[in-house]
Copies of this chain bind each other. A is one copy, B any other.
Amino acid sequence: MKETTLTVEGMTCNHCKAAVEGALNELNGVESATVSLQEHRVDVIHQDSVSLEAMVEAVEEQGYDVKA
């Protein structure tokens, strides 16, 4: 298991939190995803098989920007 933290801009409310967490949780191999709205971040716990690219894409598909 690995932990990856993404910095995500534009999440403003609990709907945003749910959308981002939900999209990440749908990825095969993601154990949990937890958004902090205040800190503009998402902590993802996942298997090694989950790529950073896949996580970034899942968040971007919800309409949010992932910062490098």
Measured CB to CB, the residues of A under 8 A from B are 10, 12-16, 19, 63
Contacts and interface: CB of A to CB of B under 8 A. Distances in A.
| Copies of this subunit | 2
A29 B22 CA distance: 34
Nearest to A62: B15
Contacts of A63: 14
A35 to B, nearest CB: 13
Nearest to A12: B12
10 contacts: A10-B13, A12-B12, A12-B13, A13-B13, A13-B15, A13-B16, A14-B63, A15-B15, A15-B16, A15-B19
A61 B11 CA distance: 21
